[in-house]
């Protein structure tokens, strides 16, 4: 019984790593094949009809890998409505920057099946007959496995969404300023997006990927308003929704694109400055507690240390009698 929990934990870890590696390779090669199909379709010069452009994009996006189809079958066997659950999770994965249609299936598999496996493997640790520090270590490992199995997928997805939103918000004013410069120099919207993607590819890869996808949708989809609305829907951020609404208004009513982008650029440049000032003003309040916890003991030691040593040397407050 001494080595059984560790053996089970190692076996479970090896199985999970092997399964995760296989999923990663399957998704990588699947995305590579889909990208090549899209490049070949664009390079062939094929003319799309009214709805062919939409079908061309959707047909590539809706192809699931064999592994995802297998996992979908397993989930359906236990009563999970994979299509409905995947549709609900689609927007969340889009906000996290995950474009693969296999991701919701993997998420559901980790949430509905792997969580039960993690809880099952935690039972030997929780029922261990060890004593002392070994028993405490087993309890901690068992609780960690339960937490990882039950809340791991949700926490991972939430953290990915929050992290990506922060990155996009930080890079949005730079992209908007560069887009304004491109439009003022005489470039159209499609050409300015291409130039922005070319210039910001290394500095801001996240927003570059979103703008590049919007550029491709503007080229392939006949409904340009839909392509711009997709940008705001994928990011789920107010600045991108405002940009999409302004560009749609410009496309529909023929207003000046330069004036629209200049107003938005000034607005969000000022917004970024206000956010920086807000963080700077919060800094004194945030560092108060660390300063008290770290510096006050040292100050008390410096001030009261000599007095305590002198009192100890003379045998108390009144000395020896």
CA gap 61, 264 in Å, rounded: 32
Q: Residue 163 pLDDT > 90, yes or no?
A: yes
pLDDT at position 71, please? 83
Q: Residue 53 pLDDT > 50, yes or no?
A: no
CA gap 28, 281 in Å, rounded: 45
Q: Residue 162 pLDDT > 90, yes or no?
A: yes
Closest alpha carbon to 110 in 16, 45, 21: 16
Rounded to 10 deg, the angle between the 66-77 and 4-43 helix axes is 130
pLDDT at position 285, please? 85
Q: Token match 């919207």: residue?
A: 189
Lowest average pLDDT, out of 6-15, 33-42, 102-111, goes to 33-42
Summarize pLDDT for 266-285 with one digit per residue, the tens.
888 888 888 888 888 888 88
Closest alpha carbon to 92 in 111, 78, 73: 111
CA gap 99, 36 in Å, rounded: 16
Summarize pLDDT for 18-49 with one digit per residue, the tens.
666 666 666 556 555 555 555 555 454 443 33
CA gap 177, 84 in Å, rounded: 40
Lowest average pLDDT, out of 58-62, 146-150, 255-259, 310-314, goes to 58-62
Summarize pLDDT for 182-205 with one digit per residue, the tens.
998 888 888 899 999 988 888 888
What pTM was estimated for this model as a whole? 0.70
Q: Count of CB atoms within 10 A of residue 193's CB?
A: 22
Burial 202-227 (b: 16+ CB within 10 A, else e): eebebbbebbbbbbbbbebbeebeeb
pLDDT at position 49, please? 38
Locate the domains of the chain by residue range.
4-165, 169-284
Given a contact cutoff of 8 angstroms between Cβ atoms, the answer to whether 272 and 173 are in contact is yes
Q: What number of CA atoms fall less than 13 Å from residue 77's CA on the CB side?
A: 8
Q: Residue 245 pLDDT > 50, yes or no?
A: yes
Torsion of CA 66, 233, 84, 53, to 10 degrees: -60
């Amino acid at each position: 019984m001494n080595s059984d929990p560790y053996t089970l934990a190692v076996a479970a870890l090896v199985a999970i790593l092997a399964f995760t590696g296989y999923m990663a390779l399957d998704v990588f090669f699947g995305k590579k094949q889909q990208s090549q199909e899209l490049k070949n379709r664009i390079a062939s010069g094929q003319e799309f009809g009214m709805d062919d452009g939409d079908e061309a994009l959707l047909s590539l996006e809706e192809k699931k890998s064999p592994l995802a189809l297998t996992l979908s079958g397993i989930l359906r066997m236990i009563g999970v409505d994979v299509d409905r659950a995947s549709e609900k999770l689609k927007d969340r994965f889009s906000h996290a920057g995950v474009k693969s249609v296999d991701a919701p299936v993997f998420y559901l598999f980790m949430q509905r099946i792997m969580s039960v496996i993690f809880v099952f493997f935690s039972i030997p640790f929780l029922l261990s007959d060890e004593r002392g520090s070994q028993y405490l270590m087993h309890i901690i490992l068992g609780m960690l496995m339960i937490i990882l199995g039950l809340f791991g997928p949700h926490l991972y997805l939430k953290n990915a969404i929050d992290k990506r939103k922060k990155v996009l918000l930080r890079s949005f004013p730079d992209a908007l300023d560069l887009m304004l410069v491109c439009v003022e120099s005489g470039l159209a919207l499609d050409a300015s997006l291409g130039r922005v993607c070319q210039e910001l590819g290394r500095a801001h890869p996240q927003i570059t990927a979103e703008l590049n996808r919007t550029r491709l949708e503007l080229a392939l989809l006949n409904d340009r308003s839909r392509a711009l609305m997709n940008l705001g829907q994928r990011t789920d951020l107010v600045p991108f929704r405002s940009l999409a609404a302004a560009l749609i208004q410009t496309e529909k009513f023929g207003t000046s694109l330069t004036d629209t982008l200049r107003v938005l650029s000034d607005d969000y440049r000022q917004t970024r400055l206000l956010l920086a000032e807000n963080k700077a003003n919060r800094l004194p309040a945030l560092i108060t507690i660390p300063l008290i916890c770290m510096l006050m003991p040292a100050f008390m030691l410096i001030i009261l240390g000599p007095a305590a040593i002198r009192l100890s040397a003379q045998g108390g407050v009144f000395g020896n009698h």
